[in-house]
Each structure stands twice: as structure tokens, then as C-alpha cells.
Amino acid sequence: MVKLAFGSFGDSFSASSLKAYVAEFIATLLFVFAGVGSAIAYSQLTKGGALDPAGLVAIAIAHAFALFVGVSMAANISGGHLNPAVTFGLAVGGHITILTGIFYWIAQLLGASVACLLLQFVTHGQAIPTHGVSGISEIEGVVMEIVITFALVYTVYATAADPKKGSLGTIAPIAIGFIVGANILAAGPFSGGSMNPARSFGPAVAAGNFAGNWVYWVGPLIGGGLAGLVYGDVFIASYQPVGQQETSSAMASSNLLVNLKRSVSPASLRAYFAEFISTFLFVFTAVGSAISARMVTPDGMSPDAASLVATAVAQAFGLFAAVLISADVSGGHANPAVTFAFAIGGYIGVPGAIFYWASQMLGSVFACLAVPTTRITVLMTGFGGAIIEGVLTFMLVYTVHVAGDLRAVGTNGKRGFAATALGALAVGLVAGACVLSAGSLTGASMNPARSFGPAVVSGSYKNQAVYWAGPMIGAAVAALAHQILMPPPPGAPEPSSRHGNVETVVV
């Protein structure tokens, strides 16, 4: 439900509001200065050469770092929006009034414009690069911007606006910066990966070129508004902590009928939806980065090391954000192998795990449009590929278990910071490291959903068994190893979970 409120002039012109507008102006100026400046610097270093994978990575990382800093510096004053689409999305969810939001927009657009004019001055009149679609139509560009802005604003809600965010809020700026970096790696060569009307408006003002600028207003505002509606209505408005749900059937945890009933409870349904969204966002950034690397690789040339780095960074950033945004709703699996491992450990019931799988598969399929499938290099056998995938998945899932150990609670009964925010970061980073180490051999999937979606859309299922058998075996071994190496202390209660369907089934 839309929760727009107009607000009052007294509130919008209060001392705290005026400080917020100044904070938005300064933070947006610094973010756009670094983001657009990185594109100008790349052009200067390459003497106007075409964008390649290394340049895409550099620009994406510059945007991610700058946005992280910008959000951090303004968070305690204005909320750290730096983006009209974020402001609009938060207005839809009732977190800011329309009138105050309009002044936020003005401050953001002024900040972006001043940043680009300063860049034009300090670079001795260098051309200011503007956003524009490439290789796709403007309508397709709008859809692209809708999807990636939805990912951004959804992340803002999950890590910064959600009242139950807890310790996750302390690293919201990192998550927001990471999802922007991942989206630029995925969408940069197509729409520019703006996600931000101010980011596109400032360069257009400085360059005097507004061709296609409407794409970067329509797409981000629709995407931001949708994210506000979805997260605000599905997860914030209807939230009920797992610990407050009825637990009278806990003693019947081995009863399949009980588990089936719990698997369709409102909390479980929200968990499936969260898994769908987080898997969608992860696969979109991961597969999109592979397409982007292919797009910026010269014809006739094979992807090089820079392409592999671009894909790895995108997957690390994307997975970090995906795990973080769904951690308090579904546990942030985004991977059937992770779900399988948790089922073996008794942290999620079998019926719920099956629904998790279905949500993850659907999310992966919906994320993919005409994408390359995960494939094995011609120098390897399918068996060898399965072994590599098993080892990689073991590393990933064991990290999930250790970093997010559901028994790791403090004296207040709550999970520690390292088991939430830093845990998500560790999962994302190990995924990126695995892609760097084995991406050129098997594609380093570690995730059946990640390989299944592209296969469905492209119609090519060659070697799909490798990307199911390897990850599932690796995940099972990781779960068993964690149980053996970190057994519960004597007298400890049975494991509980935040993963939607929390009944335990012995498998």
C-alpha cells in the first residue's frame, strides 16, 4: 500500500531539514565527482579508447567506494539518500514526506550538476560522459534501470530503513555501495547502470546533452517505487519475528504433516519471497557481468583476466548484498546448496527447503534473458568439473556455517555482529575468490540456481548435472564437517532458525 504523505512547510523548513538538504547536496556532489571523474580518468589514460573489462571494473569500484563514503557521511543527518530514486522509494513507504522529498531532489540535482561543472573546469574542458543506451533500445534501457534500481532501493530498505535491521544497519553503506558496483558491472555497457536520476542529470547539464535522459528518470523512479511497495508491505508491515510465532508444535518437529503446515505459514511465505528476490538480484548481477564482459571484449578475442576479475567482483558484491537483504527474513541462502546444507544440519525442514529451492530456481530463471550458460572448459571432463564445483561449494557453504553459526549468540540471546553483517561480507568475498580461482575452468558456479536459470532461458542443459552433483555433495560435506568440528555444547538446546520454516526434520 502506498503511504505517501505531503508533509508541512514548517517541518520541511526546520533547522534539521535544512541541514539534511545541505548534507544531501555535499554527499551527492562528492559521489558524482568521483563516479564521473573515474570515467573521465579512464578516457584520459586510454587516450579516448573504448571501454574494456578492466575499465568497467575500475569505474564500478569507484562508484561503489564513493557511494559507500557518501552514504556514510550523510546517514546521521539526512539518511544518506544521494539519489532521487531512493528518496522516492522511501517516500512511497512513508519514510519521508513528499514536500521534504522534493527539496531532497533539488539538493541532489544541484550537487550532481555542480560536481560535473567542477570536473569540466578542473580537467581543462574535458568532455563530460553522459549516460546513454548502447546495443539496446531505450525501452529496454528503462527496464534495465527499473531492475537495477529496484535492487538498490530494496537493499536500502533491508539494511537501513527496516526497523528490525539491528546490527545490519551499521554496514548498510557498504551493502548499498556493493550493490551499485555489482549493478554497474552488469548493466554498464548497456544502459550505463545509472540507478540514479541525479547521477545522469548532472553530466547532461554540464554537457548540454539531454538526449535519452528520460530513461534515467522513468526507470529508476519506477524501480525505486516498486521496491518501496514490495519491502514496505510484504516485510515491514506484516513482520512477525520467528521467536514470537506459535511454538506449540515444536515437540512434533519430526512430524511431516506439521512441517507441511508450517511451510505455508505467513512467515514461511515471506521467506520464500525473500529467497526469490535475493536469488534474482544475485543471478542478475552475476550473469549480467558475464554478458557485460563479453560485450566490452573486442570481437574475435576470448575473455581475458580482466573479464574474470569483473565477473568475480560482481558476484562478490552481488552475493554480499543478496545475503544481507534477506538475512533477517529467510536466512539469506540464495543457493540450493546452502539450503541443502542447512536441512542436513536440522536448521530448516524438508518441506520448507523444497519451497526454498523452488523460489531460488524461479528467481534465477526470471533474472536471465538470453544469457550464456555456465560451462566447462574443453580441457576438463565432467567428472573433474564436478570435483572442482564440490570443492568450491564446500568452501562457500562452510563459510556460511561458520560466519553465520545459528548457535553463536551472546549473553543477551542475540546473534553477534560477526554472525550477521560481517558474515554476509565473508560469504560474498569467498564467492568472489572462488570465481577468480576456478572461473576459467568450470565457471565456478557453486550454486545450482545460478546455472539453472541461464540453462532454462538459453535452452542448453549441457553438463547441468555437474552443477547439481558437485555443489550438493560439497554442501553436504561442509554441513557434516561443521557439525563434527563445532558440536553444540552439552545441554545446549536444539538448533533454532530464522529461515522461515523452522521445524527440524531428521534426514
Residue 144 has pLDDT above 60, yes or no: yes
Confidence grade of residue 461 (pLDDT, cut at 50, 70, 90): confident
For residues 225 and 283, membership in a common domain is answered with no
Per-residue pLDDT tens digits for 177-189: 888 888 888 888 8
For residue 218, the SS3 value is helix
Determine the pLDDT at residue 450. Answer: 82
Residue range 273-280: average pLDDT? Answer: 84
For residues 367 and 492, membership in a common domain is answered with yes
Find the domain containing 197 and state its range: 1-239
Confidence grade of residue 1 (pLDDT, cut at 50, 70, 90): low
Residue 116 has pLDDT above 90, yes or no: yes
Domain boundary among 191, 212, 239: 239
Is residue 139 situated within a structural domain?
yes
Which has the higher per-residue pLDDT, 129 or 50?
129
Q: What per-residue string of b and e applies to 316-346 under the rule 16 or more CB within 10 Å gives b?
A: bbbbbbbbbbbbbbbbbbbbbbbbbbbbbbb
Determine the pLDDT at residue 167. Answer: 66
Residue 24 has pLDDT above 90, yes or no: yes
CB atoms within 10 A of CB 370: 8
Which has the higher per-residue pLDDT, 400 or 215?
215
Cα 113 from Cα 109, distance rounded (Å): 6
Q: Tell me, what CATH number does 343's domain have?
A: 1.20.1080.10
For residues 280 and 204, membership in a common domain is answered with no
Of 152-161, 234-243, 337-346, where does mean pLDDT reach its minimum? 234-243
For residues 490 and 363, membership in a common domain is answered with yes
Residue range 492-501: average pLDDT? Answer: 47
Determine the pLDDT at residue 319. Answer: 76
Burial degree of 435 (CB within 10 A; 0-12, 13-18, 19+): buried
pTM: 0.73
Average pLDDT along the chain: 78
Confidence grade of residue 440 (pLDDT, cut at 50, 70, 90): low
Residue 241 has pLDDT above 70, yes or no: no
